Amino acid sequence: MQHWWQTTVIYQIYPRSFQDSNGDGIGDLQGIISRLDYLQKLGIGAIWLSPVYQSPNDDNGYDISDYQAIMTEFGNMQDMDRLIAEAKKRDIRIVMDLVVNHTSDEHAWFVEAKKGKDNPKRDYYVWADPVDGHEPNALRSSFSGSAWQFDEASGQYYLHLFSKKQPDLNWTNPELRQAVYQMMNFWIDKGIGGFRMDVIDLIGKIPEQAITGNGPQLHPYLQEMNQATFGDKDLLTVGETWSATPESAKLYSNPDRHELSMVFQFEAMMLDQKPDGEKWDLVPLDVKKLKEVFIKWQTQLGDEGWNSLFWNNHDLPRIVSRFGDDGDLREVSAKMFAIALHFMKGTPYVYQGEEIGMTNHTVTDLDQIEDIESRNMYQERLAAGYAVDDILQSINAKGRDNARTPMQWDESANAGFTTGTPWLAVNPNYPVINVHDALADPESIFYTYQQLIAMRKVNPIMVWGEFSAIEAVPDQVFAYTRQWEGKKWLVVANFGKTEAHIALPGYTVSDVLIQNYPDHAITLADQTLAPFEAFAVVVA
Ligand code: TEU
Ligand code: CA
């Protein structure tokens, strides 16, 4: 059975940084509505909206205090209803961010739960007694420090796998699960296009055994959720699952299991960190390993699941800075990443600003850093004796603020993002990198994305074609074919900043679909690839 989310491209918006409409320096829903024509021009079919619910913004909306109210800074429920309606007029669905591994500590449920051990909402969260006067076990938060916070009033600890203000929900509690499903149906009834599910692999956790991802009840919970909410509707449900492997991905996305449409897996996104370290412990990317990861996922899911394809999101550094070149080869490297990704099998996701090649933004001091994950790591590593320069080097390479600098619309003050003071500094390269200039330049990265998105709509080979890797190429070159009903497309991408030579005599080029060096002849039999050169051709 074919689904709409298999033939379209999803655009992720981080609302805080997309477009401010009232001059308070914070993006908002009316700002997004004002940019829907731009997104329609890009050609995307759905928007994954990072959380817009009421939140104290300890983790910029991923700490929710009311799932059925809109964050004050972003607007109100009428704005939300208007966004859904205005997007629908442009054949764009709105996919909401479902954050149900935890709430904010200001959520009414937690306010009640903290009132005492016998409170009816106590068991909506995970509490544990001290062990020998200390934390119940060695579980650690993703945002540094222990995952256990002591509650003086009750003498117990509560679990928070993220910030102290993000207490984990207790999914073993059926009443809690039903409350989540009721909230999901509230949003489904509003006509949304689906859900992106925040750290959904954690909801089966067994804290007393220090089990967090992939707990034994995880898939039963997802099947129960499917049945109780989106199961009989054609919605996109994409789980964020940092621990997924192709085997476990089949459990989430095999249609016969009635769980999710697909998952985000991050194997490729962890190749530039020490295997036994944290994201901050940097190692150079080995392109050979990157290719192996892509080929594994393209070939092992088979028809028992569906891939998501992405380079960027609101947690990841900008790909052109991370694995490409954000200097003079910025545009060709950005186009190369787009071509290499969009011709693979699966649903591509474009993160705001990726389509114009936005880059990381270097910071030099703690007071320029907003993100709780980076700030907590800064303090933890400073206390552990790390040099400030090393800490800043890690944050400049992998910090999440890199993805959260305001969208760069034009050359006016603050890149047209706000008439006020932006909540996070705009990248000073906005006079060179912005939507206005990109739309005026037929050779811009924007038009590469627009072309790739348009091709997917009218070429079944791009959606359904069988993927086959081409092994006889240099380590820095990723090459593959897609085959469908007698047609064969060949994609070549040089991931290196240096030239590379390929010799693929077995193919005859019958048409050039797209290339990032438009004046280069494509010979295949004996060809030198320029740095970051990429193309897709029809071959016989
Ligand atoms: O991210 C899950 C998560 O584990 C990331 O925070 C990751 O550990 C880190 O960013 C390394 O890249 C999701 C959301 O995407 C993130 O924005 C939230 O902070 C987090 O969950 C808690 O809700
Ligand atoms: Ca605003």
Establish whether residue 199 lines the binding site of ligand 1, counting it when its CB lies within 6 angstroms of any ligand atom.
yes
Which of 64, 105, 315, 319, when mutated, tests ligand 1's pocket best, judged by the most ligand atoms within 8 Å of its CB? 315
Bridge partners of 146? 140
Are 232 and 302 found together in one domain?
Answer: yes
- Count of CB atoms situated within 10 Å of the CB of 34: 14
Domain around 487: 463-539
Q: What is the pLDDT of residue 303?
A: 82
Q: Is 238 helix (H, G, I), strand (E, B) or coil?
A: strand
Are 497 and 444 found together in one domain?
Answer: no
Whether 101 is covered by a domain: the verdict is no
Establish whether residue 404 lines the binding site of ligand 1, counting it when its CB lies within 6 angstroms of any ligand atom.
no
CA pair distance 107, 105, nearest whole angstrom: 5
Are 47 and 132 found together in one domain?
Answer: no
Establish whether residue 279 lines the binding site of ligand 1, counting it when its CB lies within 6 angstroms of any ligand atom.
yes
Establish whether residue 16 lines the binding site of ligand 1, counting it when its CB lies within 6 angstroms of any ligand atom.
no
Residue whose Cα lies nearest atom 17 of ligand 1: it is: 315
Ligand nearest to the CA of 394: 1
Note the residue count of the chain: 540
Whether 390 is covered by a domain: the verdict is no
Per-position pLDDT tens, the chain of length 540: 899 999 999 999 999 999 999 999 999 999 999 999 999 999 999 999 999 999 999 999 999 999 999 999 999 999 999 999 999 999 999 999 999 999 999 999 999 999 999 999 999 999 999 999 999 999 999 999 999 999 999 999 999 999 999 999 999 999 999 999 999 999 999 999 999 999 999 999 999 999 999 999 999 999 999 999 999 999 999 999 999 999 999 999 999 999 999 999 999 999 999 999 999 999 999 999 999 999 999 999 988 899 999 999 999 999 999 999 999 999 999 999 999 999 999 999 999 999 999 999 999 999 999 999 999 999 999 999 999 999 999 999 999 999 999 999 999 999 999 999 999 999 999 999 999 999 999 999 999 999 999 999 999 999 999 999 999 999 999 999 999 999 999 999 999 999 999 999 999 999 999 999 999 999 999 999 999 999 999 999
Q: Which two tokens stand for residue 97?
A: 């961010």
- Count of CB atoms situated within 10 Å of the CB of 430: 24
Give 118-147 as a DSSP string. Answer: TSTTGGGB-EE--BTTB-SS--B-TTSSBS
Residue whose Cα lies nearest atom 12 of ligand 1: it is: 315
- Cα distance from N-terminal residue to C-terminal residue, the chain: 30
Q: Is 150 helix (H, G, I), strand (E, B) or coil?
A: strand
Bridge partners of 127? 158
Q: Residue 424, by phi and psi: left (phi above 0), alpha (psi -120 to 50) or beta?
A: beta
CA pair distance 49, 252, nearest whole angstrom: 22
Which of 52, 140, 142, 401, when mutated, tests ligand 1's pocket best, judged by the most ligand atoms within 8 Å of its CB? 142
Whether 250 is covered by a domain: the verdict is yes
Q: How far is the CA of 242 from the centre of ligand 1 (A)?
A: 9
- Count of CB atoms situated within 10 Å of the CB of 470: 17
Q: How far is the CA of 315 from the centre of ligand 1 (A)?
A: 6
Q: What is the pLDDT of residue 1?
A: 81
Are 339 and 475 found together in one domain?
Answer: no
Establish whether residue 242 lines the binding site of ligand 1, counting it when its CB lies within 6 angstroms of any ligand atom.
yes
Mean per-residue pLDDT over the chain, rounded: 98
CATH number at residue 139: 3.90.400.10
Q: How far is the CA of 254 from the centre of ligand 1 (A)?
A: 25
Closest CA to 272 of 436, 524, 495, 47: 495
Instruction: Count the domains in the chain.
Output: 4
Are 294 and 329 found together in one domain?
Answer: no
Give 16-71 as a DSSP string. Answer: GGT--SSSSSS--HHHHHTTHHHHHHHT-SEEEE---EE---TTTTSS-SEEEEE-
Residue whose Cα lies nearest atom 2 of ligand 1: it is: 199
Are 320 and 452 found together in one domain?
Answer: yes
Q: Residue 474, Cα to own-chain centre: how many angstroms?
A: 30
Whether 396 is covered by a domain: the verdict is no
Residue whose Cα lies nearest atom 23 of ligand 1: it is: 62
Nearest atom in ligand 1 to 62's CA: 23
Q: What angle do CA 85, 89, 93 make, to 5 degrees?
A: 65
CATH number at residue 236: 3.20.20.80
Q: How far is the CA of 472 from the centre of ligand 2 (A)?
A: 52
Are 330 and 234 found together in one domain?
Answer: no
In this predicted model, what pLDDT tens digit does every residue of 64-113 receive, in sequence order? 999 999 999 999 999 999 999 999 999 999 999 999 999 999 999 999 99
Amino acid letter for position 501:
H
Establish whether residue 402 lines the binding site of ligand 1, counting it when its CB lies within 6 angstroms of any ligand atom.
no
CA pair distance 401, 425, nearest whole angstrom: 10
Residue whose Cα lies nearest atom 11 of ligand 1: it is: 315
* Segment (H or E) for 349: strand 347-351
Q: How far is the CA of 358 from the centre of ligand 1 (A)?
A: 21
Q: How far is the CA of 185 from the centre of ligand 2 (A)?
A: 28
Whether 102 is covered by a domain: the verdict is no
Are 489 and 452 found together in one domain?
Answer: no
Which of 103, 199, 377, when mutated, tests ligand 1's pocket best, judged by the most ligand atoms within 8 Å of its CB? 199
Catalytic residues: 198, 240
CA pair distance 156, 167, nearest whole angstrom: 13
CA pair distance 153, 146, nearest whole angstrom: 19
Are 347 and 468 found together in one domain?
Answer: no
Q: What is the pLDDT of residue 529?
A: 98
Are 120 and 149 found together in one domain?
Answer: yes
Closest CA to 415 of 352, 370, 325, 369: 352
Question: What b/e string do you get for 140-149 counting C-beta neighbours within 10 Å, with b at 16 or more?
Answer: ebbbbebbbb
Whether 297 is covered by a domain: the verdict is yes
Residue matched to tokens 């256990």: 148
Closest CA to 286 of 270, 305, 309: 270
Phi and psi of 472, rounded to 5°? -80, 60
CA pair distance 375, 203, nearest whole angstrom: 26
